[in-house]
Amino acid sequence: MLFIMPVVLIVISSLMQEFGWSSLTKEPSIQVLFVNNDQDSLGTKIQSGFKGSDVFGVVDSLNGLPLTEASAKNAVKKGEYLVAIVVPKGATRTMRANVRLSVAKTLAGFGLGNPTMVNSIAFRDSVDVTIYFDPTVKKTFKNALISSVRENYYKFQTDWVFKTFNQEIAIQMPMYKPPKEAFKEILKFKEVFPSYREVELIPNTTQHNVPAWTIFAMFFIVIPLTQSLIQEREGGSLFRLLTMPVPYMTLLMGKVGVYLMVCLVQTVAMLLAGILLLPLCGLPMLVLGDDMAGLFVMTLAVAMAAVGYGLMVGTIAKTHQQAASFGSISVIILAAMGGLWVPIYLMPPFMRSLAMFSPLNWSITGYYSIFLRGGSLWQIAPQVFKLLLFSLSTVIVTAIYHKYKKPLNS
Interface with another protein (CB under 8 A): 235-237, 239-246, 406, 408-410
Q: CA–CA distance from 395 to each of 54, 244, 250, 398 (Å)?
A: 51, 21, 12, 5
CB 67 within 8 A of CB 59: yes
Name the minimum Å distance from CB 409 to another protein: 4
Nearer to another protein among residue 162 and residue 248 (C-beta): 248
Identity (one letter) of the amino acid at 182? A
C-beta of 369 vs 398, nearer to another protein: 398
Residue 406 CB, nearest distance to another protein (Å)? 5
Distance from C-alpha of 331 to C-alpha of 310, rounded to nearest angstrom? 10
Nearer to another protein by C-beta: 116 or 409?
A: 409
Q: Which is nearer to another protein, 140 or 409 (CB)?
A: 409
Q: Which is nearer to another protein, 183 or 239 (CB)?
A: 239
Nearest to 248 by CA among 69, 109, 395, 85: 395
Helix axes 377-404, 359-371, angle to 10 degrees: 160
d(CA 184, CA 288) in angstroms, rounded, equals: 41
Q: Which is nearer to another protein, 65 or 408 (CB)?
A: 408
CA distance 241 to 408: 12
Shortest CB 408 distance to another protein, Å:
6
Give 57-125 as a DSSP string.
EEE-EETTEE--HHHHHHHHHTTS-SEEEEEPTTHHHHHHHHHHHHHHHHHHHTT-S-HHHHHHPPPPP
- CB 247 → another protein: shortest distance, Å? 8
Minimum CB–partner distance for residue 227 and another protein (Å): 11
φ/ψ bin of 319: left (φ > 0), alpha (ψ from -120 to 50), beta (otherwise): beta
Do residues 33 and 79 touch, judged by C-beta distance below 8 A?
no
- Closer residue to another protein in complex, CB, 66/257: 257
Give min distance, CB of 5 to another protein, in A.
19
Q: How far apart are CA 311 and CA 329, in angstroms?
A: 16
Closest CA to 213 of 304, 314, 331, 295: 331
Closest CB 331 distance from another protein, rounded Å:
24
Residue 288 is classified by DSSP as -
Closest CB to another protein among residues 77, 240: 240
* Residue 83, φ and ψ in degrees, nearest 5: -155, 145
- Report in angstroms how near the CB of residue 225 gets to another protein at its nearest: 15
